[in-house]
Structure formats: structure tokens, C-alpha cells
Amino acid sequence: MKNSWFILLLCLLVSCNSSNKFLQTADNLATEGNYSDAADYYYTVYLTNPNNTRAKNGLIKNGQLVLNAKFSSFAKYVVENNNEKALRQFYYCKDYFKNLNEIGIELDWPNYFDGLYEETKQEFISNQYALGINQMNDKKYDKAEATFSKIMEFDSSYKDVSVLRINTVIEPLYKQGVKYLETENYKNAYKVFSQINKIDASYKNTVQNLNVALQKSSLPIAVQLINKTKYNDNEDLNFYQVLIAKLSKSNNPFLKVVDRDNLEKLLKEQELGMTGIVDVNTANKAGKIIGAKYFLLLNVTQVNFNELKPTNYEELAYESFSERVVTPSGESQSVIKFKKVFYTETRKFRKVEASVSYQLISVETGQIITSDNVISEKSDRHSYSRFKGNIDNLYPSLPAGNYLPTVDPTWRESFYELNRELVLNNVLAYDVYEDISLKIINDLNLYIGQ
């Protein structure tokens, strides 16, 4: 299966030698975990004698392992965002599966990879399409032709594309978007029509289709604090406001945050106040009332403010000085000596740390899709040193041998460091809340999708 000439050679050998020898070699290779070569040997014997059950079963088992490994490589390329390699790898999987199927070897095809392939293909084509348009705008027509030719490898609807006629570039993309709408694949439809809209918003029904796709693919999400801990400075509400602001400006166009005021009004009308949403069941009920597809329950479990006021510490150091001494020969010379001294180091810091637990609930199924406890901390530290003598003569340790002590530049620089104010608590807190919010939003995008 690797090379036709290799397989032909093996077939000739099998016809001249006992197939048992090849089967034994295949068994040994399979035992060693070399499933690809093992499958080749089973394949050779099976081609020679399709009635050989041992060869057929060995080929099915090892062929399936080889196919699984090929799909693992496909998934790896997808994770690495190497879409072109992923697509080519998927075709290798299809060819391998098809070749064995044509000779009566039926392997299990993992259907769950098909959707991932379609998403990867669309993302690759979209990126190449955007690149081709940019190259056309820059009048790099030869490069644009090459780019669209690469698209054609994975989507034959681009076979008649010409960079000299912009409508031939847009039309296959438009048809793809319409196809997505017809199959209710609204997210991909939105992405396609967004691209067309950037180039030519007046092209056919681009704007109308874009709006329909966005409306159909929108994911209304209600966000609710269920805090049991009460914070004097409303830190839970501060975090909530940061999260809502980040959600509203996230790169996921499909996430639509349910307005808090409308949420509270609707719930009160149903005699289910905001404080009543404390678990999965009530969130599921509330979500159906307000038309949300997801409910995000938040619990700010911890907010700590730590601070060290400016504190002085007396630290030991060694000051060098010159002294003249008389040598045994009676000559007078200058030598370097050291004496213990103390300098003052002033230290201060501020730190804010917080943790937030959350549950993302599907209103449709009433199940918790994901949950986690997210922790973050931000701090600001500052220290500076002061010495009344000559700083250039100050050392953190005594010399070793006849050399002056080594000095860490940062230690010496601390004596020239100016005093400054620390970052304010509310600024540090905002950075913490923003960090936690972005982590939660990343999880939402992972489980809900973009």
C-alpha cells in the first residue's frame, strides 16, 4: 500500500514462497507495534489468496489501527492550526479507507471527524480566499492565481475562478454560503457572507443572508451571580460588570448576552427573582422563560487584598576603603580593605487575588456543559535602597581571593531607584477580573463554538 512496485514485488515473492512465512512476519511486526508494515504483509497475502482468513483478519485489525493513527495525525494538525496539512491528511485517510474497501476489507470510518474536516476546510478556504483578495488588491495576480488554485484542490467550485473577474471569485463563495443556509449550518454561513460583505456588500443578497445567518446562529446567554459571600465593596458585582463588558466585546459574534434589566424583569413576572437562580434546575427553567440557550452561573468565591506598607529593613553590606600599609621590605603601599556597614532597604507591595467558580448550563438539555474554578492574582512590588556613604564602594559580600566581590547589577541599581507609588488596588482588581473573565470566555468559545 506504500508503493505499488513494492507490493508487486511482494506478490511475486508470495507466489513463489509459502504465504505462512509472510504471515509470520506480519504477526511479528504487529506484535512489535509496527502496524503499518504488518498491514502491508497481510495485504500482500490477502491479494494472493482472498480466502486466507488469517490474512484478512490481520489486515482488518492492523488496517484499522493504521487508519486510526492517520486520523490522530489529522486531529493533531487541526489542533496545531495547520489546516492545509490537516486537509491533506484527511484525504490520505479517505484513500487508505477506499483502497481497502475496494478489495473487500471493511474498516470502521470515524464519522465524528467529518464535521471537523468540514470546519477545517471552510477555515482554510476562508483564509486562502482572504489572502487571494489581498493579493488581487495589491495587483499580485500571479500569486492570487496560485492561491485560488490551492483552494481548488479542496473545493472544485473554484475551478472557473479568474482573478481578472471578481464575480467569478465571489460567486463560488456565495454559493457555498447559500448551501450552508439551506443545510442550517448558520455559523459557517455567517463567516462566508461576512467575507463577501467586506469585498462587495451589494453582491446579490449578501447583506440579507448575513443578517439571517447571524440571527439563526446567535446564542443568547444569560449570566447570573449566585454569590453566597457578601463583599463590602461589591467586588462580586465589579467582577460581573467586567465579565459582561468582555463578553459583549468578545470575538465570538454568535454570543449574545441577555440584558440584565430585561432578565430581572422577566423573572420577576414569573415570580422567579434573580436571587432564586441558585442551581441547574432553576437556571434551566429561567433560561426557557427568557429565551436563552445557555445560562452562566457565577460564584465569586474569593477576593483578597494584601498590602505591605513601606517597611524599612536594615541590611548588612561591606564598604571598601583604601589604607596605606608598610610592607616587610619597608615600602609603603595602598591596599583595599572592607568594613561592615548597614544600608536601608525599603519594601512595599500590593496584591489582589480572586477566584470565581462557574457553571455553563444548556437550557435545551438542562445539563452542565462545563464548570471550573478560575483563579488569578496580580501584584505590584517596589523596593529601593539607601546608603549614606559612597554607593560605588558598597558590596553585598566579602571578596574571594584577590578579586573584588562580584555585584549583581540589579542590587547596585536599587540604590539609584526612585520611590514611586504602587498601582492602586482597584486597578489590580480590574486586571484580575479581566484575566478571569477572558479565561471563562475562552472556555465558552471552546464548548459553545465560534
Across residues 18-27, what is the average pLDDT?
Answer: 83
Cβ(223)–Cβ(243) under 8 Å? yes
pLDDT of residue 242: 93
What distance in Å separates the CA atoms of residue 167 and residue 163, rounded to the nearest whole number? 9
List all residues 6 or more positions away from 101 whose beta carbon is below 8 Å from its beta carbon: 107
Neighbours of 297 (CB within 10 A): 22
What distance in Å separates the CA atoms of residue 17 and residue 330, rounded to the nearest whole number? 102
What distance in Å separates the CA atoms of residue 83 and residue 120, rounded to the nearest whole number? 6
- Band of residue 402 on the pLDDT scale cut at 50, 70, 90: confident
**pLDDT tens for residues 116-141?**
888 888 888 888 888 887 887 777 77
What distance in Å separates the CA atoms of residue 7 and residue 428, rounded to the nearest whole number? 67
- Of 67-81, 220-234, 318-332, 427-441, which one has max mean pLDDT? 427-441
State whether residue 370 is helix, strand or coil.
strand
List all residues 6 or more positions away from 231 whose beta carbon is below 8 Å from its beta carbon: 300, 303
The one-character DSSP state at 203 is: S
What is the sign, positive or negative, of the torsion defined by CA atoms of 362, 365, 370, 371? Answer: positive
Mean pLDDT for the chain?
Answer: 84
Integer CA distances (angstroms), 89 to 69, 81, 122, in order: 11, 13, 16
pLDDT higher than 60, residue 433: yes
**pLDDT tens for residues 255-282?**
888 876 666 666 666 555 544 555 677 7
Domains observed in the chain:
4-110 (no CATH), 120-217 (1.25.40), 219-450 (3.40.50.10610)
